[in-house]
Structure formats: C-alpha cells, structure tokens
C-alpha cells in the first residue's frame, strides 16, 4: 500500500515534571532542539515581529511598540524611502547566521534561501572582492553585482552532533554531564523524593517552536515596557 501521509518534522524532548503542580522542572534535549533554541539569538527583531504576528497559533502577539514599529514600516509609502529595497530590508531582514541555520531540523525562518551576488565580471577578471545580498550594488571595479551565488551551509546548526543538554525552567541551557545532579537540582526546587516527579517525552513541531518564540517575545516586550516605565518614573526632565 502506498503511504499518503505527509512527514511532519518533529524533535523529541524529555521532560521531568512535578506530579503535584504539573510544572516542568527541566528538559533533556539533544542537538536538534538546542540548535533551534540557540538560533533564536540570530533572528533580527523584524523577523521575530513578522513570525509571531503572522504565524502564532496562539493568535497574533500585538503587545508593545515593536509590533507597531514593524507595521508602520509595512504601511509606509515607498516614496518616503531612500531606495526601493529599503522596505524589504526592514520587513524581511537577513539573518547573518543563515549558513548555520539552513540545516536546522525545525527551521522557522521563512526568508531562506538568501541569495548573494558577486561581480558580473568575476570570470573574466576574478574580481570577487565583494559579496552582497543586494543586486542593486556595484563592485569596486565599477561593474554591477549581478552574478548570483549560493553559499554552502557552514555545517548544520551550532552544537556538536551527539551532545545532550539540560534546559531549566528559566531557559538556562547546560551540558548534561556527570556534574549535573538531578537529585541536587530537585532538592534546590524543594522536591525531596524522586517519587514526586514523572518523566514525559513530547514531540516538538515547528508550530510549537513558533508558540515558544511568541512567549519569549511577549516576555521580552513586557520587560521592555517595564524598563521604559522605570526610566520614565526615575528621571524627571527639567526644562
């Protein structure tokens, strides 16, 4: 019989859960999940604003001024902008680490693949000094950068293939080594017996990663609002 179902990329994650509160104490994860988590640090703000607004299954995350900033650029008349590509640069900013992120098992970014352009006379005069993501730039030799090239991925992700990690509820990621003591960790969290916890395995999909990014984004925006409010009350501006 022919298989008709589509393969959905998933990454497995082992959780240690407090039976009483049903709260996750920590997770044990391999390379695939930790790479996705670390890749959050490479995302430009414009990309995060676009992803959480459009794709979150929790509904659009619209709290805060950074979403407003993104929408302001989207609604801006192109006549106000310096060049035609400025809007694209702001709304779909390039990830400078995309060579590392291309091979991720759960890749949430939607701006791939990044195209690069070399000097149009590259073959004739071996002029390859400049590599640009814009086709509308010129090489130092005066010729346009119209020769399209794709960069080979610089390996897959960020951490080593067989590495295992512990991720705490505060999003601290550390190697799962002999130094990590589950018992000591549980004691620090007020749990005296291992019978109070249970192990679970969950499969994380791309949609779940987007939800997670949305939560982090929400916390970040709330933190920003707190900082703005703090400075507003702390400093009195005297004319």
Give the residue with the Cβ less far from Zn ion, 40 or 122: 122
Name the phi and psi angles at 138, rounded to 5.
Answer: -115, 150
Which residue stretch of 66-74, 94-102, 131-139, 187-195 sits at the interface with Zn ion (rule: CB under 5 A)?
Answer: 131-139
The only residue of 25, 29, 127, 209 in contact with Zn ion, by rule CB under 5 A: 127
| Least spacing, CB of residue 124 vs Zn ion, in Å | 9
Which of the ranges 14-22, 94-102, 132-140, 155-163 carries the binding residues for Zn ion, by CB under 5 A?
Answer: 132-140
Element (H, E) at 174: strand 173-175
CB count within 10 Å of CB 37 equals: 19
Residues 6+ apart with CB under 8 A from 39: 97, 100, 101, 104, 157, 158
The DSSP element (H or E) to which 206 belongs, if any, is: helix 206-234
How many Å apart are CA 212 and CA 217, to the nearest integer?
9
CB-wise, 97 or 132, nearer to Zn ion?
Answer: 132
Min dist. Cβ of residue 80 to Zn ion (A)? 32
**How far out from the chain centre does Cα 96 lie?**
12
DSSP 133: S
CB of 98 to Zn ion, least distance (A): 24
Examine residue 167 and tell whether it contacts Zn ion (CB under 5 A).
Answer: no
| Sole binder of Zn ion in the list 34, 139, 166, 167 (CB under 5 A) | 139
Q: Which of 49, 52, 106, 119 binds Zn ion (CB under 5 A)?
A: 119
Binding site residues, Zn ion, CB under 5 A: 119, 127, 139, 141, 143
């Amino acid at each position: 019989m022919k298989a008709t179902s589509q393969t959905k990329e998933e990454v497995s994650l082992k959780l240690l859960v407090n039976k009483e509160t049903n709260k996750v104490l920590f997770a044990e994860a391999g390379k695939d999940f930790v790479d996705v988590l670390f890749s959050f640090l490479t995302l430009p703000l414009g990309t995060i604003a676009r992803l959480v607004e459009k794709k979150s299954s929790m509904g659009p995350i619209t709290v805060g001024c950074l979403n407003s900033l993104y929408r302001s650029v989207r609604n801006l008349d192109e006549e106000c902008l310096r060049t035609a590509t400025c809007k694209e640069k702001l709304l779909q900013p390039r990830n400078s680490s995309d060579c590392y992120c291309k091979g991720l098992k759960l890749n949430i970014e939607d701006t791939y693949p990044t195209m690069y352009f070399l000097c149009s006379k590259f073959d004739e005069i071996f002029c390859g000094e400049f590599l640009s993501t814009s086709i509308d730039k010129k090489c130092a030799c005066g010729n346009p950068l119209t020769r399209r090239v794709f960069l080979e991925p610089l390996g897959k992700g960020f951490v080593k293939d067989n590495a295992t990690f512990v991720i705490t509820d505060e999003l601290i990621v550390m190697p799962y080594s002999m130094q990590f003591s589950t018992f000591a960790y549980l004691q620090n969290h007020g749990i005296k017996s291992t019978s109070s916890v249970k192990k679970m395995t969950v499969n994380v999909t791309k949609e779940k990663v987007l939800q997670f990014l949305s939560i982090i984004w929400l916390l970040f925006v709330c933190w920003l609002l707190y900082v703005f409010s703090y400075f507003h009350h702390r400093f009195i501006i005297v004319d």
